[in-house]
Structure 1
Amino acid sequence: MLRLLPVLAILLAVLSGPAAAEPATRARIAAMIVPPFSLGEALNDKGVYQLLNSGGAEAGFVFETEQMAPLPGFSGAPINMLVTLDPDGRFLDVRLLSHNEPIFVSGLGEAPFHKFFEQYRGLSISEPLVVGTPYGKGGAGSELTYLDGVTKATASVRIAHESLMAAALQVAREKMSGISAGPPVTPDPSVDAPLDWQALLEQGIARNLRLTNAEADALFAGSIWADDDPEARADPEGLFIDLWLIDIGAPTVAQAVLDPDSLEELRRFTEISQSDEPLLLIETARHGLVSEDFVRNTAPDRLSAEQGGFPVALRDADLMVDLSRDLPRTLRNGTAMILRTDRRLGFDPTQDWLLHAQIVREHGMFQPEIGTRSVTLPYRMDEKFYIRPGAVEQLAPWREALLNRQGDLIVLAGLLAALLLAQGAALRQLARLRAFVPLRLAVLAVVVGFVGWWGQGQLSIVTVLAAIRTAWEGGSFAFLLYDPFSLAIWAAAIIGFVAWGRGLFCGWLCPFGALQEFAHHLGRALRLPVIEPSPRWDARLKKLKYVLLAGLVASVFTVPGAVDKLAEVEPFKTAITTFFLREWYYVAYAAAWLVLGAVLFKGFCRYVCPLGAVMAIGGLLRGRDWIERRAECGSPCQLCRVKCNYGAIDRAGKVDYSECFQCLDCVTVFEDPKTCVPRVLDARRAGRAAPAQVAAE
């Protein structure tokens, strides 16, 4: 019973997945609130909290972005931020909580990312915020508020910005206006009734904003800019703005206004950007759509939009536009462009919204004073062109995780089932195969590529330490289901504990262990020297991993903030999780173990790996000695001991299962009548006895 106590202590740790996907705890969020503010009560199940002032009154809202707007970052994982808003929708603070953006993980470092978020303080969600820089002189009067991006990380910061705004606008709609934001509408492809230009006008799909030069002059009457447009005064009845707006999200509408080539280009665009609503704008007068310094694929500097009092993020779709020949010639001779806005950010084309066109004038020759006025075009699309999803019941996190990775899990289940079967019922047949070594290397290649780099199923001591900390603090282990891929590997490892000991995982399912084995074979192919400690030093060094494990477990209770750094003794994160895309010293450390592995067989696994120590402790559950031995094993035969690269067989022929990596080399020897010394001697004796028996007869 005493033998099993450490096993029972570790099992709780084993049954957990990465804690990174878990929302921040209330304690962590509270610690990030700057006095005199404090964290109040939770307002919903999406991580939105009250912000309280020093008197205990509500002073705003605090929330994480990932739970409400999990837009995938450049790495594929969401960027999670902690946002603090005042009651008027002004940002009090924005902090980066977690991310996995490669450019910041290794390369630029996180400092520029943190600095980017500092720009939001004092800005309002009602302002049209965009990432970029003003378009030179022409953009000086823009209504947009520009946030400086991060050089070489434009994609990442723009995705972070969109996630931030999506979450902030959702909170604003629900908590500041009493409007619950439901799932976004999508165009209904079944509506295919043909439309012509007249029908577009009659149904209010094509709407026009028209302003004469005289009307534009009147907007600046009494100001210093009143006489700064001579062309308008020369032709007061001429058109200054003749702007047409057509929402072409509905396929039947797009078909009515675009030529076939542009229609096909739009179709390809919407296949990729399924959540974007395309808006066609046509200008036939002198105002134009954008300034002369406009940059494609960015936000327009002369146009903005709002819905429900909140800004709508517009961006150029960067599509070439040719209009249908069925449209009036005046429109076809105008300037056309397609803007896009993301319906996931709260935009609903079937609800009233406003398009603002900005008029800019300059007064003076040197450092002119800029004057702006806006005119507005109201718009909305008919509900018949869209599908409005009903209330969607949110799946439990474990069900979402299963659905998201069901394909990978099916392949993994097949791999694990085949390994368990081969190591169990077919063990002897497997060891007898002539192509056993190439087959083993092929399996290890799949483990590195599929389990490690693709599936991110590299188990880690971090998981064990996180589970121990959760148990100590009385937290919930529900997050263990967030990563079913790793959980399946943990389950296989536990089965391996009972059937074989530590060897199933360490010898067959550990991606970094597999890399070390490949390094060993490369070293043999290059005929590098082999380093092998003496038996005495081998035994001493094997105790090191238990010392490291004890130190890491102690750090959970003594210096919990340093656990992540201390766990870097494992090179798994560098070699497997981030594909060696980290700071140079992490890469050098991981590479050093692989280089050493070319001359010292799996040195990290044998001597240093704290997870291997956990697996060895778990292996105490082993219910049998599954490696068969003969009376001659160890006395006089030492072949298996010599063949064992792990040093897991002593001189007496006994197997140390705590150090056995289940490579099956000794089983191969045991099963081979031409290699196993006792079997060879038995065969020779039988061969000599047969002629003597014949002669006697």
Structure 2
Amino acid sequence: MQAHSVLSVALRAACLLWLFFSQTLYASVDNSEIQALFPKATRIEPKQDNPPVYSVYQLDDLLGYAFESQDYSSLQGFSGKPIRLLIGLEPQGILVGVKVLEHHEPVFLHGLGEQALFDFVEQYRQQDIRTPIVVGGRQATTVDGTSITQFDGVSKATVSVVILNETVLVSALSVARQLLDDFAGSPLATPRSDLFEPLDWQQLLDRSYLQHWEISQAEVEQSLNQHIAYFPDLDIESPEQPFSELYFAYLNTPNTGRNLLGEAGFARLTSELKANEQALLVISSGLYPHVPDDFIPASAPSRLVLTQNDKAIELHDMNYNNGDILGSLNTPISEGVAHIFRIKPHAGFNPAEPASLQLNVSLRRNPLVESSAPFTHPLTLDSTLFDIQAAPAVHKPVPVWLRMWQERGWQVGLTLLALVLLSMVFMFQHRISRHGQAFHVFRAGFLLFTLLFLGLYAQGQLSVVNIFTLLLALGPDFDLTVFLMDPVIFILWSFTFVSLFIWGRGLFCGWLCPFGALQEMLGWIAKKLNIKQLKIADPLHQKLQWIKYVILVGLVLTAFLSLTLAERLAEVEPFKTSITLFFMRSWPFVLYALILLGMGLFVHKFYCRYVCPLGAGLAMLGKFHLFSWLKRIDACGKPCQHCKNSCEIGAIKRDGSIDYGECIQCLECIVILNNDNQCVATISAEKQARKARKRLEQRDIIATDTPWRDAATPTQG
């Protein structure tokens, strides 16, 4: 109980520390990193909020935008953490480059090396995001015939680079749709150009084509909770004077634009608006107009915001008629401030849907004290002025995880077929194991399939890294698609998890682990070479088994504190070196893997028995298996020790019982049990039967001979 309490406290502390570290914000991007993407840049604006980008200029010419991927994509990498990228995009939709700021992909950190990752992202330079980009693949066109750009993938890191590619495209297209005109869709409501009738100012107001909004001094005082006279910047002439009085109108419809601007003015406005751009007229007067006195023409107003669907839509002053708008309007108003604001297509403003104008009031009592309050008014336009279009059917791209399953369809099919076959073998193990020689041939072939196909080709080597990646991913933001990225890994993990509660951990460790298969094959070689096998005494064997459990707990706790450190410590598994990279990495890793394999020549499956943290994790769950499939008989262990002596993994105890936490279910004990020429109990019973038959035969002979003797003996009288 005391050890349990200590472990519980340690786990809670680890979780709290992890929550603390997970709240730490990313370090801000250094301007030198942006400068590397835009070498000609002379000015880099601070990061703006909506959308979060850095605007990059050469003098006053916009070179493009730099942005961080985590602001637009939460797609997790193979490690369970997002790949953080800095992306540069030109106004024409051309990528100027991609820089990796942070990642936790194990295959690049501790396997292939990061240079392979950096070489991959170099392919994005000068790519047009209008053309779909895919990693690998076999087709140069999409289903509808459009061309695509194919990137060279990174061998042994397919999942990581596919996720990175998706991150780049999601981020870049999101920025493009918000800031680049060519990527914005046309509005769902278009003004009817054929609908026009002459209307004066009052008629426009009566029909709400022109809308009026007045904010009184009392409203402002109530919102600010202060008397308006306390603000010295306001030139108050009387208490009845409006704080702010606004008129506004949507100018793209002829009934509004032509009547307010006149025929020539409306034609001029239409020519100045780019495709799918919209215009909004705002006139204001009173103590607080919609722009301050120092407003810069052709900029965005700080006081006025257009909102729709809880989204702020930025307005840009057109500087129409050099700012002299009141003089060109058909209006009775002679004093005030007027502007025509441009609404860009990427804002997605739909004039047929409800919207509102927001006036942000900010007043100073003194240089140190400022009071602020927003005021809103609905902007509702007559739908009869527009042609309402049905929302275009948006073609949703195939999810990246589904694309991975489609591209590896035959691998998925072959893996599923192998698992079905293995399940049948385990379900009918007693019937199949009666044919000992055929069973051994099947097992050898299946282990060869596991090593060559599942391991070396399909990269289906499960790892303890997958376990703590799953633990860190659990939570309200859990995303199953991260684990669907690699179909073979997902299938093997799903099958292994289910099988743990049916057969225990042995089905995976003894049949589906590529590194385990490699170790078993080395055991075959050791027998052929007559290498003497070291027998470890039971007491020492029992103690050494705990090493893998200590390693597992240490790795999981470390993962909650530092994922990067946990990934480094997970190199205790030689899987990446031997199976994933097939020994193509730096010599210390190769030497470590070779030492473990070499020890397996003298101690059968040394790594599996004493070091493997993955096996430890599976054994902990496997203790909850529902059935004990490995049959035992009364003679097992009392006195027969044949299965125990033949069990090379050391999972059969002296009393004949099986330790399912250590058993790899090679089924050798079942082969012995079901073969009359191997099971000692059966052989002994057969000997007893033979002796019994022999005694019966001798008794029959005696019985046959007795009558003859009786006949030859004279009888007495």
Q: TM-score, normalised to structure 1's length?
A: 0.52
Q: Secondary structure at the match of 1:434?
A: helix
* Structure-to-structure mapping, 1:643-654, within 5 angstroms: 643-654=646-657
- 2:67 is the counterpart of 1:62: yes
Q: Secondary structure at the match of 1:513?
A: helix
Report the Cα distance in structure 2 between the residues aligned to 1:64 and 1:636, rounded to whole angstroms: 67
Report the Cα distance in structure 2 between the residues aligned to 1:161 and 1:668, rounded to whole angstroms: 49
Offset of residue 398 of structure 1: 3.9
Q: Secondary structure at the match of 1:606?
A: helix
* Structure-to-structure mapping, 1:112-511, within 5 angstroms: 174-180=177-183, 392-430=395-433, 432-471=435-474, 475-511=478-514
Q: Secondary structure at the match of 2:465?
A: helix
Closer, same or farther: CA 534–42 of 1 in aligned 2, 3 Å: farther
Q: Secondary structure at the match of 1:545?
A: helix
C-alpha contact (below 8 Å) 1:86/1:92 kept by paired residues: no
Offset of residue 664 of structure 1: 1.0
Closer, same or farther: CA 687–540 of 1 in aligned 2, 3 Å: same
Report the Cα distance in structure 1 between the residues aligned to 2:668 and 2:427, rounded to whole angstroms: 16
C-alpha contact (below 8 Å) 1:30/1:38 kept by paired residues: no
Closer, same or farther: CA 427–82 of 1 in aligned 2, 3 Å: farther
Closer, same or farther: CA 439–38 of 1 in aligned 2, 3 Å: farther
Deviates more, 1:631-640 or 1:427-436: 427-436
Cross-structure match for 1:83:
87
Offset of residue 556 of structure 1: 1.9
C-alpha contact (below 8 Å) 2:87/2:95 kept by paired residues: no
Q: Which of 524, 530, 534 is residue 527 of structure 2 equivalent to?
A: 524
Offset of residue 509 of structure 1: 0.2
Offset of residue 172 of structure 1: 7.7
Note the alpha carbon deviations across 1:229-254, whole angstroms, 9 max, x for none.
Answer: xxxxxxxxxxxxxxxxxxxxxxxxxx
- 2:30 is the counterpart of 1:34: yes
C-alpha contact (below 8 Å) 1:61/1:87 kept by paired residues: no
Closer, same or farther: CA 476–526 of 1 in aligned 2, 3 Å: same
Q: Secondary structure at the match of 1:94?
A: strand
* Structure-to-structure mapping, 1:559-570, within 5 angstroms: 559-570=562-573
* Structure-to-structure mapping, 1:650-689, within 5 angstroms: 650-689=653-692
Closer, same or farther: CA 395–85 of 1 in aligned 2, 3 Å: closer
Note the alpha carbon deviations across 1:662-694, whole angstroms, 9 max, x for none.
Answer: 011111111111111110011111112123334
Report the Cα distance in structure 1 between the residues aligned to 2:432 and 2:478, rounded to whole angstroms: 46
Report the Cα distance in structure 2 between the residues aligned to 1:161 and 1:661, rounded to whole angstroms: 37
C-alpha contact (below 8 Å) 1:41/1:50 kept by paired residues: yes
C-alpha contact (below 8 Å) 1:422/1:430 kept by paired residues: no
Report the Cα distance in structure 2 between the residues aligned to 1:502 and 1:557, rounded to whole angstroms: 25
Report the Cα distance in structure 2 between the residues aligned to 1:483 and 1:652, rounded to whole angstroms: 44
Report the Cα distance in structure 1 between the residues aligned to 2:122 and 2:437, rounded to whole angstroms: 63
Closer, same or farther: CA 105–651 of 1 in aligned 2, 3 Å: closer
- Aligned letter for 1:470? A
C-alpha contact (below 8 Å) 1:431/1:664 kept by paired residues: no
Q: Secondary structure at the match of 1:687?
A: helix
* Structure-to-structure mapping, 1:578-589, within 5 angstroms: 578-589=581-592
Q: Secondary structure at the match of 1:567?
A: helix
Offset of residue 592 of structure 1: 1.6
Note the alpha carbon deviations across 1:605-637, whole angstroms, 9 max, x for none.
Answer: 111111001110111121122111111111111
Note the alpha carbon deviations across 1:1-39, whole angstroms, 9 max, x for none.
Answer: xxxxxxxxxxxxxxxxxxxxxxxx998994463379887
Report the Cα distance in structure 2 between the residues aligned to 1:32 and 1:583, rounded to whole angstroms: 33
- Aligned letter for 2:656? G
Closer, same or farther: CA 38–401 of 1 in aligned 2, 3 Å: farther
Closer, same or farther: CA 118–96 of 1 in aligned 2, 3 Å: farther
CA RMSD of aligned residues (A): 4.5
Cross-structure match for 2:556:
553
Report the Cα distance in structure 2 between the residues aligned to 1:533 and 1:635, rounded to whole angstroms: 22
Gaps of 5+ in 1: 1-24, 44-48, 54-58, 71-78, 127-152, 183-389
Report the Cα distance in structure 2 between the residues aligned to 1:526 and 1:504, rounded to whole angstroms: 28
Question: Which one has a bigger Cα radius of gyration?
Answer: 2
Q: Secondary structure at the match of 1:499?
A: coil
Report the Cα distance in structure 1 between the residues aligned to 2:430 and 2:47, rounded to whole angstroms: 59
Report the Cα distance in structure 1 between the residues aligned to 2:165 and 2:554, rounded to whole angstroms: 42
C-alpha contact (below 8 Å) 1:104/1:113 kept by paired residues: no
- Aligned letter for 1:62? F
Cross-structure match for 2:599:
596
C-alpha contact (below 8 Å) 1:517/1:602 kept by paired residues: yes
Q: Secondary structure at the match of 1:599?
A: coil
Report the Cα distance in structure 2 between the residues aligned to 1:514 and 1:546, rounded to whole angstroms: 22
Report the Cα distance in structure 2 between the residues aligned to 1:520 and 1:490, rounded to whole angstroms: 26
Note the alpha carbon deviations across 1:410-456, whole angstroms, 9 max, x for none.
Answer: 11110000000011124431353313223211111100111111111
- Aligned letter for 2:576? K
- Aligned letter for 2:485? Y
Deviates more, 1:546-555 or 1:470-479: 470-479
- Aligned letter for 2:396? E
Report the Cα distance in structure 2 between the residues aligned to 1:540 and 1:26, rounded to whole angstroms: 37
Closer, same or farther: CA 81–559 of 1 in aligned 2, 3 Å: closer
- 2:615 is the counterpart of 1:619: no
Q: TM-score, normalised to structure 2's length?
A: 0.51
Offset of residue 397 of structure 1: 4.0
Deviates more, 1:524-533 or 1:408-417: 524-533
Q: Which of 107, 114, 121 is residue 110 of structure 1 equivalent to?
A: 114
Closer, same or farther: CA 559–660 of 1 in aligned 2, 3 Å: same
Q: Secondary structure at the match of 2:87?
A: strand
C-alpha contact (below 8 Å) 1:601/1:646 kept by paired residues: yes
C-alpha contact (below 8 Å) 1:33/1:39 kept by paired residues: no
Report the Cα distance in structure 1 between the residues aligned to 2:470 and 2:46, rounded to whole angstroms: 29
Gaps of 5+ in 2: 1-20, 32-43, 57-63, 76-82, 129-154, 186-392, 701-717
Cross-structure match for 1:94:
99
- Aligned letter for 1:551? G
Offset of residue 460 of structure 1: 0.6
C-alpha contact (below 8 Å) 1:501/1:616 kept by paired residues: yes
Identity of aligned residues (%): 30
Q: Secondary structure at the match of 2:637?
A: coil
Counting matched residue pairs gives 416
Q: Secondary structure at the match of 2:437?
A: coil
Offset of residue 500 of structure 1: 1.4
- Aligned letter for 2:438? A
Closer, same or farther: CA 686–543 of 1 in aligned 2, 3 Å: same
Offset of residue 396 of structure 1: 3.3
Closer, same or farther: CA 414–537 of 1 in aligned 2, 3 Å: same
Offset of residue 696 of structure 1: 4.0
